[in-house]
């Protein structure tokens, strides 16, 4: 389970007897796209979106001061629990065809997750993943450079040894000292 507490906890709520005009005013005042309709125990019993106002009030020519939230709300409201895995919430939203879903703790409203929240969260996750991938690539390149440097030194040592053996015994002692020095450098590069 992925713990997630990034859903919006400050959401607009209204009672079932709120008028369509009151809902529209709240949406306009707070620049939001929905109001969750709750009962006395703060349990979500419906949700009214800006689209619901357009299609169920304006398009029908209904009186916004007479029609109530209970009459235009989408019911039953699709909900998720605050400890549901994000994958489960996304699948539930997709299956239900909703862009907004109230979050409950127990039965009481705790917050709201929207498609926009999910996009922002996914963007952050992708950004974090990109940073992690870049670090791994950079580390791999460093290891590759160390390995190439080590191979170059080992090849130089082998060439020196072959050259020394070909030059004779006097040169061997001198070259062996050089080889030992190169080996010490090689050991030092391994610890970087």
Question: Which among 88, 114, 140 is the end of a domain?
Answer: 114
Distances, alpha carbon 28 to alpha carbons 1, 10, 23, 49, 73, in Å: 36, 16, 9, 12, 18
Whether 142 is covered by a domain: the verdict is yes
The total number of structural domains that make up the chain: 2
**CATH code (residue 89):** 3.10.580.10
Average pLDDT over residues 171-189: 76
pLDDT of residue 3: 44
Query: What per-residue confidence (pLDDT) applies to 180?
Result: 82
Could you tell me the residue range of the domain that residue 47 belongs to?
Answer: 13-114
53 and 21 in a single domain? The answer is yes
113 CB-near residues (< 8 Å, 6+ apart) = 7, 8, 80, 89, 93, 100, 101, 103
Q: Considering the chain, what percentage of its residues have pLDDT values greater than 90?
A: 46
Q: Domain end: 48, 82, 114, which one?
A: 114
In tens, the pLDDT along 6-63 reads: 566 778 999 999 999 999 999 999 889 999 999 999 999 999 999 999 999 999 999 9
Asked if residue 23 lies in contact with residue 69, where contact means CB atoms within 8 angstroms, the answer is yes
Residues 19 and 109 both lie in one domain: yes
CA distance 52 to 58: 9
pLDDT of residue 1: 33
For 26, 86, 116, 191, the CA distances from 97, given in Å and listed in that order, are 24, 16, 15, 57
Decide: 57 and 23 in contact? Cβ < 8 Å. Answer: no
What value does the mean pLDDT take over residues 72-101?
Answer: 91
Mean of the per-residue pLDDT values of the chain: 85
Q: Could you say which of 89, 114, 139 is where a domain stops? A: 114
Residue 191: pLDDT band with limits 50, 70, 90: low
Q: Is residue 1 part of a domain?
A: no
188 or 20, greater pLDDT:
20
Same domain? 104 vs 19: yes
């Amino acid at each position: 389970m992925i713990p997630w507490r990034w859903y919006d906890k400050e959401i607009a709520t209204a009672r079932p007897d709120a008028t369509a005009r009151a809902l529209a005013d709240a949406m306009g005042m707070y620049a939001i796209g929905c109001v969750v309709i709750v009962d006395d125990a703060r349990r979500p019993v419906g949700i009214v979106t800006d689209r619901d106002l357009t299609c169920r009030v304006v398009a029908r020519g209904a009186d916004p001061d007479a029609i109530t939230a209970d009459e235009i709300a989408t019911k039953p409201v699709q909900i998720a629990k605050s400890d549901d895995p994000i994958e489960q919430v996304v699948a539930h939203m997709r299956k239900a065809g909703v862009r907004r879903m109230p979050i409950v703790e127990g039965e009481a409203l705790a917050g709201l997750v929207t498609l926009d929240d999910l996009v922002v969260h996914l963007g952050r996750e992708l950004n974090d993943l990109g940073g992690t991938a870049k670090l791994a690539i950079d580390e791999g390149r460093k290891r590759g450079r160390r390995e190439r440097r080590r191979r170059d030194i080992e090849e130089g040592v082998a060439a020196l040894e072959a050259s020394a053996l070909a030059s004779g015994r006097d040169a061997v002692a001198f070259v062996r000292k050089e080889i030992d020095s190169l080996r010490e450098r090689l050991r030092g590069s391994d610890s970087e």
